[in-house]
Amino acid sequence: MKKADITQNIKTVNTSVTFRKCGSSTIKNTVDFRIEAIEPIPDVMVRVSTIYYVPNLVGKHEKAFYNRTINFCTYLRKPFTDRVLKIIYEHLDQRGNLPKRCPIAPGTYTFKTCFDGIQVPSFFPESSFRIDVYFRRPNSAPFFQSSWFGEMRKES
């Protein structure tokens, strides 16, 4: 992971993200992420969009390669409803503490990872990428939106 762009509604959540070198690696970064839920977030308010982009010939991340939006609380109850989100969420939860049920209680949720060892589906190409994650209210007004930029390389 190389960088993240985050927009938030500070009445609902407060977030921070820090990137540092991952061990002795000159390429990989450790991501320290913290999100504080200021108020309870009910089931009906939480939809998550996971959108994966690969760059076009001029390097712009314009066309989505993978685009999926689900109710986050449904995902927490039935994690197999989204295979890609399940892979990422389990990896992050093992390296921090993330919400386990809805409504999401006020509190601080965190993860710290280099993103090593994630077994993404083989149809995801080895490439630089942008992945967008949005949490929205039913009226589609997002209270958290993020774009994460990095490179996916298959390890042998």
Residue 46 above 80 pLDDT?
Answer: no
CA distances from 125 to 22, 64, 82 (A): 23, 13, 19
- pTM beyond cutoff 0.75: yes
Give residue 136's pLDDT.
Answer: 78
The CATH number for 71's domain is 2.70.220
Percent of the chain having pLDDT more than 90?
Answer: 34
The string of DSSP letters for 69-103 reads EEEHHHHHH-GGG-HHHHHHHHHHHHTEE---SSS
Percent of the chain having pLDDT more than 70?
Answer: 94
**Which pLDDT tens digit goes with each residue over 66-111?**
888 888 889 999 999 998 889 989 999 999 999 999 889 999 999 9
Domain of residue 148: give its range.
3-152
CA distances from 34 to 18, 77, 95, 140 (A): 9, 23, 12, 23
Residue 10 above 70 pLDDT?
Answer: yes
Provide the number of structural domains found in the chain. 1
Residue 45 above 70 pLDDT?
Answer: no
Handedness of CA 62, 126, 131, 66 (dihedral sign): positive
Provide mean pLDDT across the span 43-65. 80
Give residue 16's pLDDT.
Answer: 95
Provide mean pLDDT across the span 12-26. 86
Provide mean pLDDT across the span 147-156. 79
Q: Is there a contact between 12 and 143 (Cβ–Cβ < 8 Å)?
A: yes
Sheet of strand 13-21, all strands in order from the earlier edge strand to the far edge:
13-21, 29-37, 107-113, 96-97
Residue 18 above 90 pLDDT?
Answer: yes
